A and B are shown apart, each in its own frame.
Chain A
């Protein structure tokens, strides 16, 4: 069965005077990879950042509408964004390992959330996260080496491992492969497919092929509007909206 993890209704986002997201309503399901596609500046990344309230860190950004995770309004005054982000992890466009050791990069989240009672448990969490990030074999011998010393693809997998270490329920990925070469991209895509077993994964991507390869559901954004949202196979073979078709066939974008 597919159950709904995140339900967004009539979401509006304003950057100062700019109306960046208009009336977006979408339901994101558990154990599914949902891809957001669309031309640059269409609002897909902005919308993604609404889902774990990363937009709070930008002063001029205002969000209206209703976004619920497990039925709870995440913009409720009582919700602490810190707790929310522990539940909704995020991987960014550019790999951004902290200038610390590989071990400390992974252990950072569990430490601040108090997930381990002792060193052994923490070691365990780190190992599990690195295995889930499909990078354990490459770094197990140099856990104390700085995370910034890894290659671009390794860094991004480290960041994914870092995100899963806090055991989120949803994983947001903002163009996670845009800074990677094709081989690293393939590794990360493989990883995303595995992560689907445990999480609702939302991925913003520029590449339509990637969306077709990794996602089950696809949402097409254009100029701040959600144009079409359906099964990936349907979007890519038989889109209903003419704009979607134009984008898919490369006439706009």
Chain B
């Protein structure tokens, strides 16, 4: 893979620059390192840094920018009338990419030569035949514009990569050479290197900002795109969720309300399970349990938090669901139709959240000063009176914060609801009905071979945006409350 080689080559150039700079400064100082400003290795590092970092930076930018350029050029080659009625430009471009990949494959397997692949007069049927013998995935016979575009795509890409290789290597060598030239005993190499390292550290820390930015931008752009195709009012206030899939025809109903209702209903069931159990566990562990019991029970409860959510999902689908059906189903009380239901998902999610609530509450209860408890015991209060009337009220803001964080977890949880809650979106009050949630629908709208142009796929981004805003709001609010609470006792 040339990219890997290029990367290694840059590193090799940097290593070379390191050695040369170090030797040069040692030679200039007459092998006497005491006359140098910095340790010799810093001169080397300076050269290596100046050779590798700009080159790698250009490499990354180029890799991201080139597909844009190529896509724009290739897209311009396809006339509007070459795009079929049922298709879109995005799909045709995907086809072009597949054809180009197919040609690479055909060359690799010896079904085609490089010259043949570049031959602009090539016969479409012949190329299609060769590609399919090579095992490339081509949906149908290529059309002339697609073939031309694919050929152009390959040419542009390969020239692009050649130019990139040359440019990047030149930058690496130039950077190294410049650094070697400025190397002399009085040069403050250590300060420069440390400045460079500092910039790298800042860059690493900024990734958090970039990630948030990436999330927000990818959500916002696609959501705007969605609202261009589907009215926002219908999305936010629609009470029906019935996406139509391509082929079945008809317009989709994409109202978020049934999904939000399912999300909140399941989260409420989960909190009804998790909050009392988690809170009482925390109270028992922090106030009553002997050190031995605490040393055993606390990590055991926390094991529940370390279990991946897919395990809980499977537990809901295959264990809890059937169990509930046997009690509440047609053989029992007759309230439940199938194993996947609000109750199933809520119950299992509640189990998942128990350790979350309990360890957060544990921290918060422990933060209540002992003086408060002493004051209450000194008045002749029993331990439970102290907990209920002094400790819990004092810890209340913190506990509310913990519950809000748990709620945000519940709202954003995906695997349990995908497997345990069912797929039907409905507005119902029966907790034994199957319902679905925002997260489950994001998954179902975005998995599979989707083209991102249809409202049915784009709606997932609007759902994601809603989810992001709700959980972010809850988190910020909860963290604010918890922080305020901590400050009170510091």
Enumerate chain A interface residues (CB-CB to B < 8 A). 52, 54, 57, 59, 82-87, 89-92, 94, 96-100, 108-109, 112-113, 159, 162-163, 166, 172
- A162-B371 CB under 8 A given contacts A98-B394, A112-B385: no
Beyond A89-B378, A90-B378, list 19 extra A-B contacts (CB 8 Å).
A54-B374, A54-B377, A57-B373, A59-B290, A85-B377, A85-B379, A85-B380, A89-B379, A96-B369, A96-B374, A98-B372, A98-B376, A98-B390, A98-B394, A100-B393, A108-B376, A109-B379, A113-B380, A162-B375
- For B396, give the chain A residue with the smallest CB separation: A99
| Complex A-B: 14 CB contacts under 8 Å | A54-B377, A57-B373, A85-B378, A86-B379, A87-B380, A89-B379, A90-B374, A90-B379, A91-B378, A92-B375, A96-B374, A98-B376, A98-B390, A99-B372
The answer to whether B379 and A96 touch across the interface, beta carbons within 8 angstroms, is no
Contact of A99 among B291, B373, B382, B393 (CB under 8 A): B393
The answer to whether residues A98 and B377 also contact, given A82-B382, A108-B389 and a CB cut-off of 8 A, is no
Q: Does B381 contact A (CB under 8 A)?
A: yes
Give the 7 A-B CB pairs with smallest separation, nearest first: A86-B380, A90-B378, A85-B380, A96-B371, A109-B379, A96-B375, A99-B394
Q: Which of A54, A82, A91, A166 has the most CB of B within 10 A?
A: A82
Give the chain A neighbours of B381 by CB distance below 8 A: 82, 85, 108-109, 112
Contacts of A99 in B (CB 8 A): 372, 393-394
Q: What is the CA–CA distance of A84 and B394 in the complex, to the nearest angstrom?
A: 26
Tell me, rounded to whole Å, the shortest Cβ–Cβ distance linking A251 to chain B: 34
Count contacts between A and B, CB distance < 8 Å: 73
* Residue in chain A with minimal CB distance to B385: A112
Q: Is the CB of A163 within 8 A of B378?
A: yes
* Chain A residues whose CB sits within 8 angstroms of the CB of B374 once the complex forms: 54, 57, 90, 92, 96
Bound form: Cα–Cα A96–B381 in Å: 15
Interface string of B372-413 (1 = CB under 8 A from A): 111111111110010001100110000000000000000000
Shortest CB-to-CB span from B212 to chain A, Å, is 36
Most chain B beta-carbon contacts within 10 A, residue among A84, A98, A113, A162: A98
Q: Would you list which residues of chain B between 215 and 259 have a CB under 8 Å from chain A? A: none
* Known pairs A98-B372, A99-B393, A112-B385; A57 contacts B380 (CB<8 A): no
Given A108-B389, A112-B389, do A98 and B375 touch, yes or no (CB 8 Å)? yes
- B379/A52 in contact, CB under 8 A: no
Cα–Cα distance between A166 and B291 once the two chains are bound (Å) = 33
Residues on A with beta carbons closer than 8 Å to the beta carbon of B372: 96, 98-99
Nearest CB in chain A: distance from B275 CB, A: 22
Chain B hits for A166, CB < 8 A: 379-380
- Among B290, B369, B379, the residue within 8 A (CB) of A108 is B379
Q: Which residues of B contact A94 (CB under 8 A)?
A: 371
**Min distance, Cβ A162 to any Cβ of chain B, angstroms:** 7
Interface centre among B372, B379, B381, B393 (most CB of A within 10 A): B379
Considering the chains assembled together, what is the distance between the CA atoms of A109 and B385 in angstroms? 10
The complex places the Cα of A113 from the Cα of B381 at a distance, in Å, of 8
Q: Which residues of B contact A84 (CB under 8 A)?
A: 380
Give B246 Cβ to nearest chain A Cβ, in Å.
60
CA distance A86 to B376 in the complex (A): 11
CA distance A133 to B371 in the complex (A): 20
Set of chain B residues within 8 Å of A97, measured between Cβ atoms: 375
Task: Determine how close the nearest CB of chain A comes to the CB of B309; give it in whole angstroms.
Answer: 37
**Interface code B358-373, partner A: CB below 8 Å = 1, 0 otherwise?**
0000000000010111
Residues in A with CB closer than 8 Å to B385 are: 112
With both beta carbons as reference points, the residue of chain A lying nearest to B374 in the complex is identified as: A92
Instruction: Name A109's contact: one of B291, B369, B380, B382 (CB within 8 Å).
Output: B380
Most buried by A among B290, B369, B380, B389: B380
Question: Complex formed: what's the CA distance from A64 to B196 in Å?
Answer: 67
CB-nearest residue of chain A to B371? A96
Give the distance in Å from the alpha carbon of A147 to the alpha carbon of B357 in the complex. Answer: 29
Bound Cα distance from A113 to B382, whole angstroms: 10
* Smallest CB separation, A166 vs chain B (Å): 6
Whether B375 pairs with A159 at a CB distance below 8 angstroms is yes
Shortest Cβ distance from B55 into chain A, in angstroms? Answer: 60
Most buried by A among B381, B382, B389, B390: B381
